[in-house]
Chain A
Amino acid sequence: MKKVLLGNEAIVEGALEAGVQFISTYPGTPASEIGDIFYKKFKRQNSKNRDNLYFEYSTNEKTALEAAIGASFSGLKTLVAMKNFGLNVCLDALGPFLYTGSKGPIVIIGADDPNCHSSAQWEENIRAISYLTHIPTLEPSDPQECKDFVKFAFQLSEKFRIPVLIRTTTRVAHQSMAVEINDKLQITNSKKSLEGEFIKNPYQFATMPPRVLEMKKELLEKIAKIQKFSEKSSINKLTTKNSKLKVGIITSGVSYLYVKESLKELKLDLPILKLGFFYPLPENKIKNFIKNLAKVLIVEELDPYLEKEIKGLAKDSNPKLQIFGKNLFPEVGELNQDLVSFAITKITNKNLGIENYKLPVNLNFPLKNFDRKISRRSPAFCPGCPYWSIFGAIKQAVKPEKVVFGGDIGCYMLAGFPPISLQDYLLCMGSSIGIAHGISKSSDAKVIAFIGDATFFHSGIPALINTIFNKSNPLIIVMDNRTTAMTGQQPDPGAPDKQTGIKIENIIKACGVKYLKIIDPVKNFDGFIKTVKDFIKKDEVSVIIARHPCAQLKLKEKK
């Protein structure tokens, strides 16, 4: 049976078909739906449901991965999902995990976002993490492959006792198509519990010298075996055509779809090597593919990782090969079929009648006059959002030019746009406080650091402790809207559903913060202004918990 599925939905489908038992995640676009689907299935957070699956939204990506490592060590089939930046957060655990290897098979989903549609702090490419940690990495192109690759990744993980990373991108994770699914799938298994068992084995699970260097050697041996396996795997797909042009294309992920679309459009038949494995690469397969070519086009988004590898491989197998890639494609932003068509015609332009193919983007179409008419609409806070009140109050309480405003990751970063424009720096989760501390220590500037409740739990707490440990004086405003709002109102430790949350004020008090107030900025707008005016003068750290629920959360509860 076929069903229309989003890439992320197909990932869940694949995991269920593979018999996943333990799922942990931290929400982040474009990976959030994966956790959300499990959450909906389970109706609530951290419970084993009757199907004997365990799901949790973890505090951050590091605790999500660590929970998953514990599950894998206990023998469970495990899935962890996060956005690209999340992999940075859990990298500290991921590196050694490759050394210990897995016990229960484990698949990690990492979602990149070329073009910074939603991950707007840097245009990360998590392929670098594949090299850094030696994690086997697969790149699906479409929802069908999302499902198939997840199942394949579980098998690979089981066979080689190693975690496997599936790298999606926005255009894969948020792409829909009809996907073949197993409609007879019964998630319910007969077992009464999760049945994990942690069997002590420090030889495998404890990374310590002198064993650690042996472990590294074992990892590299595993990778060599996986590479051999990858040479024969049909997940690296070769379509050989009798090309008189002696031009071939190597690509992977969503770029493959742009290549296929473009070749159809240009009515060209060129051989394509589509790599399912990004790491380790099937080097012999690539060498064989390029052996008899005159030109090869590498189609990949962002940094030229494949291109560099292939340049190295060509030195052995075909030194005269002309290699095209980033000399025709941008390294910034995502690709599309138009950019691919442009590149293909550039290198095959003889005798095809298409030598004048130009990029259509407004260049050959008199639309320039419309520029003025194009609405550049920035996102804004929802109607009824408590953040309107908070930023409104700040503007009344202080002179913006006299204060430095630290932004963090959440809806409140929209304060960087007009008409609010109260954001002097913005980097990553938890950094509003961490950087505020550095600015306070280095200058006379008074800093107001904004941070949401979920972000505070995610990575704000160590930064808060640092302001006290090392004595600086920012005013921290915890924008407690009782949910992880930006990614779709997932529960957070302060506001889990149907349970009592951890009180942020208790954490702050325990840290020894003397100046602390909890204020509803909507109901007590004047009190909020007064407290900001008062706290901004303090020569030690002060905290206001601005507590009022997210407007979307209220709407959701009504539904």
Chain B
Amino acid sequence: MKKIFNIIIGGVGGQGAITVGKILAEAAFLEKKEIKMSELHGLSQRGGSVNVHLRIGEDMYSPLVGKEKADLILILEKNETFSNIDFISKSGETIFLINDFIIPSPASQNVKFENEEIKNLLKDFSKNVFIVPASKIAQEKFGNEAVSGVILISFAAFKNLLPIKPTSIYKAIKKVIPKKYLELNLKAFNFAKTI
């Protein structure tokens, strides 16, 4: 593994980008790795573009991922994919994991991406683009859109897209998610194995 693994989590305020970041941070912490995370709160919660920076590894200082330095760009809402383009590494090794889900907004009405178009646009920059219908699964299988983030990170762990073991993600979910929603999230975690 590289000494530092940089993650950008992009999405729309209210989707749970911070919770997803917290689970990953706790999971890395359980594996005795150092973490640095930077998040934004406040009015951007209300449906604006948000991103969370998470760095896992050792010998790190900045809470921000440097430009062109992301190892994984995790996108919770498809239209947000290109808002985080500055972080793609030139090496072509940045992994994209995108939720196949759109939240309509006045700003994005004229931009609706087909999955093929996204893959096509990204192909020169990233060899690893995964588009997963996490929200669809969340709604259909679990009746709750909120677990889509857990599905995505669990998928990432099972597919080795992250330097974190699935068991650590499992333990971190237990630590971060409130009791009331825990069972649902653990089910979502287990389901991600089958994707």
Contact = CB atoms under 8 A, between A and B. Distances in A.
A414 B42 contact: no
A382 B46 contact: yes
Highest count of chain A CB atoms <10 Å: which of B106, B108, B178: B106
Contacts of B37: 175-177
Contacts of B41: 29-30, 32-33, 118, 174, 488
A177 B47 contact: no
A93 to B, nearest CB: 26
Contact of A361 (B63, B64, B86): B86
Contacts of A170: 40
Contact of B79 (A2, A256, A377, A378): A377
A382 B105 CA distance: 12
B61 A257 contact: yes
Contacts of A257: 61-63
Nearest to B63: A175
B26 A379 contact: no
Given A117-B40, A175-B38, A261-B60, A375 B46 contact: no
Contacts, number: 159
A87 interface: no
A261 B63 CA distance: 10
B167 interface: no
A254 B63 contact: yes
Contacts of B43: 29, 118, 120, 379, 411, 413-414, 486
B143 interface: no
B49 A559 contact: no
Interface residues of B, number: 50
A376 interface: yes
A375 B104 CA distance: 11
Interface stretch (A282-290, A366-374, A501-509): A366-374
B66 A338 contact: yes
B61 A376 contact: no
Contact of B108 (A120, A377, A414): A377
A375 B106 CA distance: 10
A363 to B, nearest CB: 10
Highest count of chain B CB atoms <10 Å: which of A142, A177, A382, A411: A177
Given A177-B37, A258-B62, A365-B68, A377 B90 contact: no
B83 interface: yes
Contacts of B45: 379
A375 B80 contact: yes
B47 A377 contact: yes
A362 B86 contact: yes
B65 to A, nearest CB: 9
Contacts of A381: 46
Contacts of A413: 43
A117 B44 contact: yes
B82 A370 contact: yes
Given A174-B38, A174-B41, A178-B29, A379 B64 contact: no
Given A336-B64, A337-B62, A376 B107 contact: yes
A128 interface: no
A179 to B, nearest CB: 11
Contacts of B186: none
B47 A338 contact: no
Contact of B46 (A171, A174, A379): A379
A177 B40 contact: no
Contacts of A2: 29
A413 B34 CA distance: 39
Nearest to A2: B29
A265 B107 contact: no
A268 interface: no
Given A367-B85, A373-B81, 12 more contacts: A176-B36, A176-B37, A176-B39, A264-B61, A337-B64, A337-B66, A373-B121, A378-B107, A382-B14, A418-B106, A486-B42, A487-B42
- List 7 tightest A-B contacts by C-beta distance, closest first: A118-B42, A379-B48, A29-B42, A260-B61, A261-B62, A176-B37, A360-B67
Interface of B: 12-14, 22, 25-26, 29, 34-49, 59-64, 66-68, 79-83, 85-86, 88, 90, 105-108, 111, 113, 121, 178, 180
